[in-house]
Chain A
Amino acid sequence: MVALIRHRTDAFFTGLGRFGLLLGSAFSGTPHLRLYYRNLTEQFVRVGIDSLPIVALASAFTGAVAAVQSIYQLEGSFYLPKTAVGSFVTTSVILELGALIAAFILAGRVGARIAAELGTMRVTEQIDALEAMGLNSASYLVLPRILAGVLMFPLIYVVACTVGIGMGIVVGETTGVIPLATFIDGARLLFRPYDLFFGVVKSLAFGFAITSVSCYYGYYTSGGAEGVGRSTTQATVMSCVFVLLADYVLAVIML
C-alpha cells in the first residue's frame, strides 16, 4: 500500500515536472514566423471557429432549460416577481453555465482532437522528425494550440452567453409567461459588468487548461494506437477535472 502511494506520488510529480518542461520549451522557442503564422491561423479556425456551431447549440439548450426551470419555479411561488426569470437566466449563464458548458464541449471536441493529433504524430515519429530537423517541436506544435485556446475561448464564451440568454428570451416569449421587456428588466436588475469580466477570465483559464493538458497527454503518448486512445481519453477527462478545479479556485478568489 505504501509502495503504491509512493509510486503514485512519484508519477504525479514526474508528470508535473514534464508538464512544466513542455510549457517551458513551448514558450521559449524562437518562432519561425512564416510557419507559426500559418499554424496559428489554422489552430484559430480549428479551436475557435469550428467549435462555434456545437457550442451555440449546447448553449441554446442550456439557456432554454434554465428559462423553463425558472418559469416552473416562478409558477410555484407567490413571492418571486416575473423579472426573476431574466435575472436568474442571465446571471447563471454569464457567471457559470456559458463558460462551463463551452468548456466541457471544448474538452471533448478540441481536447480530444489535440491529444489524438499529437499522439499520432508521436507514435508515427513525426515529432521525432521535427526534432531531427532542428526544430523545437514543442514550440511549433504546442504553442499555437495553447494560444488558439486562450485567445479563442473568450470569443466562444461570449457567443455561448449571447445564444443562451437569447434562447431564454425566446422561451419566455413563446410560452407567453415572460414578455421580452420583463425579461430584460430582470436581466438588468442583477447584471454587473464585473460578472462578465469574471466570465472572460474564467474562459481564458479554461482555454489554457484544456489545450495545455491535452497537448501534454498527446505530446508524451507512447504505445502505438492503444497509446493514442489512452492519451485521448486521459486528455478529455483531465481537461474536465482541471476546468472544474479552475472554476472553483477562480470563484473563491474573484467572487
Chain B
Amino acid sequence: MIEIQNLSKGFDGRSVLEDVSLEIRDGETFAVIGRSGSGKSVLLKHIIGLLTPDAGRVLIDGTDLHALSYGELRKIRRQFGVLFQGGALFDSMSALENVAFPLRTFTRQSEAEIMDRAHWCLSVVKLPDAGSKKPSELSGGQQKRVALARAVALEPRYILYDEPTSGLDPQTSATINDLIVHLAETLHATSIVITHDMNSVLAIADRAGFIHERRLHWTGTMEDLRCCADEATLAFVKASEYVI
C-alpha cells in the first residue's frame, strides 16, 4: 500500500503541494486529476522518490521512502514501473533494446530469455514489429506504448502513469486506456494515473483524487464523482470534453 502523509513541496519559495494526504490500496487504479501545473507530476515524483518533500512522508508498505539510504531506495524503486509523460525512451537504443534494458540490468536471464520476454512485452502493447525501430522513428502513441512495455517488463507491483494519453488522438488514447486496464488485471498491479483526461479516468480508474489550489481537494470512487456536489471538482469535470 502507498500512503502519502501531510506532504508539502515548494520550489524557489513557491508552494506547489500543501498538506496532501492519500492512501492508495493494493490492486486499485487511482487517478490523480487536476489542472495543468497543479502539482500532479510533482506528487508522482515523490511517490517514486525522485523528489524529496519539504514536509510529510511517503510510505510504501509502511516504509518511509525518504528515510532510506540511496541504495535502499533503489531497491524499493525496482517494484515500480513508470510511464513518463514523453515516454522517456533511451534514444540511443531501439524499441526492443529499450524494453530489454531493465531485464538485462536486473535479471540474470539469458539473452534468449530476455529477447523472448522483450518481444512478448512489445506484442502486449500491440507493437510486435516495432522492435528494430529507434524512438525517433515512432509516433507519439507508439513511443508511449513502447515505454509502457518497458515499464512492465519486470512485472512491477506498482505502475505509475504520468499523463499517459496527453497529446494523443482519441483512438490511440482508447488503446492506451485499454492497455492500462489490461495490465492492471493481468499483473495485479496497483496503478496510479496522473491525468486531466476525464474520459481516461472514467475508463480506467477505481478511485480518483482532485488536486486543487495545492491541496488534495476531493477523493472518491467513480460513482462518487458522478454524483459529486463539490463546486471546484464539478467545474473541472464539466470543463472536460466527456460524457458521463
Contact = CB atoms under 8 A, between A and B. Distances in A.
Contacts of B48: 131-132
Interface of chain A: mostly helix, strand, loop or mixed: helix
A128 B88 contact: yes
B90 A126 contact: yes
Interface of B: 45, 48, 50, 70, 74-78, 80, 82, 84-86, 88-91, 101-102, 104-106, 160
A134 B84 contact: no
A136 B85 CA distance: 21
A36 to B, nearest CB: 10
Contacts of A124: 86, 88, 91
A135 B105 CA distance: 8
Given A134-B78, A136-B70, 20 more contacts: A34-B104, A35-B105, A124-B86, A125-B88, A126-B88, A126-B89, A126-B90, A128-B50, A129-B88, A131-B50, A131-B74, A132-B48, A132-B50, A132-B77, A132-B160, A133-B77, A133-B105, A134-B74, A134-B75, A134-B76
Contacts of B160: 132
10 contacts: A124-B88, A126-B90, A128-B50, A128-B88, A129-B90, A132-B50, A133-B77, A134-B74, A134-B76, A134-B106
Task: Kindly list the 3 A-B residue pairs having the minimum CB-CB distance in the complex, ordered from nearest.
Answer: A134-B78, A129-B88, A134-B77
A75 to B, nearest CB: 54
A135 B106 CA distance: 9
Interface string A7-27: 000000000000000000100
Contacts of B90: 121, 126, 129
Contacts of B86: 124-125
Interface of chain B: mostly helix, strand, loop or mixed: mixed
Interface of A: 25, 32, 34-35, 120-121, 124-126, 128-129, 131-136
A133 B80 CA distance: 7
A225 B239 CA distance: 32
A197 to B, nearest CB: 37
Contacts of B91: 120, 124, 126
B85 A125 contact: yes
A124 B84 CA distance: 9
A131 B74 CA distance: 8
Contacts of A133: 77-78, 82, 101-102, 105-106
Nearest to A38: B104
Contacts of A25: 70
A33 to B, nearest CB: 11
A131 B78 CA distance: 10
A32 B105 contact: yes
Contacts of B70: 25, 136
A121 B90 CA distance: 8
B92 to A, nearest CB: 8
Contacts of B77: 131-134
Nearest to A25: B70
B11 to A, nearest CB: 11
A25 B75 CA distance: 16
Nearest to B84: A125
B105 A132 contact: no
Contacts of B106: 133-134
Nearest to A140: B105
B37 to A, nearest CB: 15
Contacts of A134: 74-78, 106
Contacts of A35: 104-105
B104 A136 contact: no
A131 B105 CA distance: 12
Contacts of A32: 104-105
Contacts of B76: 134
A124 B162 CA distance: 13
Contact of A136 (B74, B78, B88, B102): B74
A35 B91 CA distance: 16
